[in-house]
Amino acid sequence: MEGAEATRIMMGVNESTIKGYPHASISSRGAFDWTLQKIVRSNTSGFKLLFLHVQVPDEDGFDDMDSLYASPEDFKNMKHRNRTRGLHLLEYFVNRCHEIGVACEAWIKKGDPKEVICHEVKRVQPDLLVVGSRGLGPFQRVFVGTVSEFCQKHAECPVISIKRRADETPQDPVDD
Amino acid sequence: MEGAEATRIMMGVNESTIKGYPHASISSRGAFDWTLQKIVRSNTSGFKLLFLHVQVPDEDGFDDMDSLYASPEDFKNMKHRNRTRGLHLLEYFVNRCHEIGVACEAWIKKGDPKEVICHEVKRVQPDLLVVGSRGLGPFQRVFVGTVSEFCQKHAECPVISIKRRADETPQDPVDD
């Protein structure tokens, strides 16, 4: 199996939902660390990681809730801020891959995360999709919805859902 | 990550459901091949495969239910009368692991496959559970039930479900 093409692992990554914390969510980092430790291990040349960050159009304006939009430029500025946040997120993962020596790619899409992820799986055809999961209870799931469950059913490649470790669960499990 | 303990991957394996064909099911072999090609790759010392075969009590029973089989010799030493279908099945996977040089263990349990697999995950605590899936449609699923869906929800470790390739689907997808 030497010399075979690298195993391409797509990872859906997102930001912490806690406001003012523009960093990778606990569950995204957990899924990333797990993949490195348990799958990639020392075989850094055998894998390529593909990081997809999906920005939800409605949520993106969260920080801009009290802003006033008076000109097309205001929207451009907002878009610029969102782009910056997304890039900051991806930078974290790309930097870590470079430190370790694992090939990677990263990109941003807009839309409903679960549908965009499945669409991108179809387009990019990775060998495996890894998604973090917040491990919400059935009651919370109804309202929050789980990207991981949807992807396990609909993505056209094998899927691993990595649950956040119990000791990393924030007080409100929706905060991640 | 050199020198770290091997990643322990548990695989639920079963026989073809076609009578008179006492071999690994298409989906079990598919899940096994996928794991070797995409995860283990050339890093044979980084992984240990744990093969669990769950026999449904009605099918057949025998005395070696709690024995551990770790090498081809273990099987040769078995009395002929015990060389039953379950052993034949596990022998296939253990032999292939020995050819490739991947450490493994295999054992048989009795019961409802989905419940026994989740129970064994709890007991053995693998890093990852891989199960083959026959990719049945929603109508067939109602009657056949899917082990993989149950495990994805209830197993206390990350789970990958490997769907059988479309070109390997038998005429009746329940035959596997």
Q: What percent of chain A has pLDDT over 90?
A: 50
Any domain includes B160: yes
Contacts of A160 in chain B (CB under 8 A): 128, 158-160
Q: pLDDT digits over A110-155, tens only?
A: 999 999 999 999 999 999 999 988 766 666 555 555 888 889 889 9
Size of interface A-B (CB pairs under 8 A): 58
Cβ atoms A159, B161 nearer than 8 A: yes
CATH number, position B63 = 3.40.50.620
**A11-20, A120-129, B136-145: least confident range:** B136-145
A38 reaches B (C-beta below 8 A): yes
Does the reported pTM lie above 0.90?
no
Cβ atoms A11, A52 nearer than 8 A: yes
Domain that holds residue B18: 7-168
What's the average model confidence in pLDDT over B127-131?
Answer: 96
Any domain includes A64: yes
With a cut of 0.95, is the ipTM above it?
Answer: no
Contacts of B39 in chain A (CB under 8 A): 7, 39
CB contact under 8 A, A36 and B1: yes
Complete edge-to-edge strand list for the sheet that includes strand B7-12 = A103-110, A47-55, A7-12, A128-133, A159-163, B159-163, B128-133, B7-12, B47-55, B103-110
> Quick one: pLDDT at residue A49?
97
Any domain includes A19: yes
Any domain includes B176: no
- What domain count does chain B have? 1
pLDDT reading at B59 higher than 70: no
Any domain includes A176: no
Any domain includes A98: yes
CB contact under 8 A, B36 and A1: yes
DSSP state letter for A16: -
pLDDT reading at A62 higher than 60: no
Any domain includes A68: yes
